[in-house]
Amino acid sequence: MKTISTKVAIVGAGPSGLLLGQLLHKHGIDNVIVERVSADYVLGRIRAGILEQGLVKLLEEAGVSARMHREGIPHDGFCISHSERLERIDVKSLTGGESVMCYGQTEVTRDLMAARSEAGLTTLYESSEVSIVDICSESPAVLCRHEGQPVRIECDFVAGCDGFHGVSRQTIPEEKRTEHERVYPFGWLGVLSDTPPVHDELIYAKSERGFALASQRSPTRSRYYIQVPLTDSVDQWSDEAFWAELKRRLPSDISAKLVTGPSIEKSIAPLRSFVCEPMQYGRLHLVGDAAHIVPPTGAKGLNLAASDVSTLYKLLLKAYRAGDFNVMSRYSEICLRRVWNGERFSWWMTNMLHDFGDESVGGMDGASMARFMESELNYYLDSPAGRAVIAEQYVGLPYEQID
């Protein structure tokens, strides 16, 4: 058995684990990451594309923001379309100057991986049989097999950054966890293509045929999504069928400008709202998707993970500097206040913009629900106060101060 001693053992080398590891390292707190798959596999996942200012600032603090500022595209607004109506939400003027950064999660992850490797920090990729033990003691540990050898990582704290299907959340006894969940009756079929974006900002499109999103990664690379039934599989969708359906869901003057091309990635993501409470147990702290999931309609998944990371690393700094670990007990309550705001906004945007068919919601039949949601959207688009509500949540509510 190989034994490694560190201060914080991090399970998962996605954006949560890598960002936490980098911030802790910058402040002299030693950490080791255990990751189930290879670095290339992590980079192969195409996910989020919009960064809130809070995450931009964290990446600056972590010293990994140079390429983001060079290649990322600041967006001062985004559009919502409803059939032929196209409305721009001017987030910059509605929030007194806030904006978002368009820069793919894959690139954030790549930058964090490069920084970690440059700092010579330990990341055990392709680890198997990962488990977390003794989390209610003062000496928890992470066990795994790495390069065929059993490894024990002894630490003060464990950060569960291993996503929705990870081992961390399951390590908290079931009777100690309360889980809130809404699984949506549809998914998002996403396509990445080396084609110029159809619009200079994002378009969230509500149409009779269902939801669509026109997003981007760079002036030459686009990311598009369409709502599809959960029963659909990727191989049912040729590129031609995808482009034709996307065109039907965007306003016609936008569709007319759409440049199509071969998909370089195509996948279907299920949509769910999920929160595990509490987000900590003993010396284990759940971070990001390990604790909560949002439908991507509000661009909050990666950004809520970032605010968890910010809270955890600041509390750890405080705990080690004061030599008082009791401060860590505040982690879950601080995170959950912001998480629930992001959950509600994402759930609200999803309900308002998607077609739920004849699924009844809250005892109301689908057709009536659709009329209520149409009225909800028209009210918020027609009201300056309504647009301000959308704008302040889209750029991200402020992080709580950790004094």
Environment class of residue 208 by beta-carbon count within 10 Å: exposed (0-12), middle (13-18) or buried (19+)?
Answer: exposed
Q: What is the side-by-side strand order in the sheet with 50-51?
A: 50-51, 100-102, 73-75
Binding at 68: pick from ligand PHB, ligand FAS, none (beta carbon under 5-8 Å per type): none
Binder of residue 251, out of ligand FAS, ligand PHB, none (CB less than 5 to 8 A by kind) = none
Choice among 199, 300, 314, 354 that is catalytic: 300
Chain-centroid distance of CA 110 in Å reads 16
Length of the chain: 403
Reported as type and span, the H/E element at residue 321 is helix 301-322
Residue 210 engages ligand FAS in binding (rule: CB under 6 A): no
Active site residue 320: no
163 binds, among ligand FAS, ligand PHB, none (CB under 5 to 8 A by kind): ligand FAS
| Binding region for ligand FAS (CB under 6 A) out of 66-74, 163-171, 253-261, 347-355 | 163-171
One DSSP character per residue, 221-263 reads EEEEEEEEETT--GGG--HHHHHHHHHHHS-HHHHTTPPP--E
Q: Are 266 and 190 in contact (CB under 8 A)?
A: yes
- Distance between alpha carbon 261 and the CA centroid of its chain, in Å? 27
Task: Give the tokens for residue 91.
Answer: 């987030």
**Per-residue binder mask for ligand PHB (CB under 6 A), 284-303, x = binder:** ------------xx-x----
CA distance 351 to 322: 45
- For the CA atoms of the chain, what is the radius of gyration? 21
Report the C-alpha gap between 88 and 381 in whole angstroms.
9
Nearer to ligand FAS, 223 or 320 (CB): 223
Burial category of 272 from C-beta neighbours within 10 Å (exposed 0-12, middle 13-18, buried 19 and up)? middle
Is 369 a binding residue for ligand PHB by CB under 6 A? The answer is no
- Give the binding-site size for ligand PHB (rule: CB under 6 A): 10
Annotated catalytic residue within 184, 331, 394, 399: 394
Of the listed 266, 285, 296, 331, which one is catalytic? 296
Q: Pick from 31, 195, 215, 260: which binds ligand PHB (CB under 6 A)? A: 215
State yes or no: is 296 an active-site residue. yes
Given 25, 75, 82, 314, which residue is catalytic?
Answer: 75
Site residues for ligand PHB, 221-260, by CB under 6 A, read 223
Which residue has its beta carbon closest to ligand PHB? 49
Q: Is 72 in the site for ligand PHB (CB under 6 A)?
A: no
d(CA 99, CA 92): 5
Q: Is 300 a residue of the active site? A: yes
Cα separation, 50 vs 355, in Å, equals 24
Structural contact between residues 30 and 7, judged by C-beta atoms closer than 8 angstroms: yes
Taking residue 183's Cβ as centre, other Cβ atoms within 10 Å add up to 12
Least distance from C-beta 48 to ligand FAS, angstroms? 3
Of the candidate residues 13, 23, 50, 373, the single one contacting ligand PHB (CB under 6 A): 50
CA distance 14 to 43: 9
Any contact of residue 296 with ligand FAS (CB under 6 A)? yes
306 binds ligand FAS (CB under 6 A): no
Is 125 considered catalytic here?
no
Q: Does 48 bind ligand PHB (CB under 6 A)?
A: yes
Using CB under 6 A as the binding rule, whether residue 42 contacts ligand FAS is answered as yes
Q: Which of 204, 281, 313, 399 is catalytic?
A: 204
CB of 12 to ligand FAS, least distance (A): 3
Choice between 167 and 214, CB closer to ligand PHB: 214
Q: Active-site residues: which are they? A: 75, 204, 296, 300, 394
- Which residues contribute to the site for ligand FAS (CB under 6 A)? 11-17, 34-37, 42, 47-48, 105, 130, 161-163, 165-167, 269, 288-289, 296, 299-302, 305
- Which residues contribute to the site for ligand PHB (CB under 6 A)? 48-50, 202, 213, 215, 223, 296-297, 299
